[in-house]
Amino acid sequence: MIELSRWISRALQYSPKHPLSAQLAVRTHEIVTRALREWTPLEVGVLRDKMTIGQTPARHPALVTRLAPYLHERGVRSFGSPTASAPTSSRPSSRSSPRPRPRSFLRAGCAPC
């Protein structure tokens, strides 16, 4: 997840086709592929200021302060297995209407490997 965060930051700073972004994309793909071999299915839940990997809350600052808000702003609430769910928030909801259905990461624009 940290490598994914680094690649997104680099792609936003330059462009996804920039040589530095492309090199990091290749490395990120290799690392994510290796992780998926060990931890299948990989389930990730996303809130504005929180991320879980499986049932474990992410604590790395890049995931909590950069990746989670970035994905949350784009409507991604969970990705991985079809049953992955977003972490629960301890804050009371300020909305009176029901929340829209979360979009999965794959439907939000990321192509599967």
Contact 51, 57 (CB under 8 A): yes
In order of 38, 67, 101, the CA distances from 17 in angstroms are 29, 20, 32
Q: Where are the domains of the chain?
A: 2-87
Contacts of 6 (CB under 8 A, 6+ apart): 24, 28, 62
CA distance 104 to 101: 10
DSSP, res 59: -
* pLDDT level of residue 16 (50, 70, 90 thresholds): confident
Q: What is the model's pTM?
A: 0.59
Question: Cα(100)–Cα(105) distance, rounded to whole angstroms?
Answer: 15
Residue 1 identity: M
Q: What is the pLDDT of residues 31-86, one digit of tens each?
A: 988 888 887 787 889 988 899 988 899 999 989 998 999 889 988 888 776 554 45
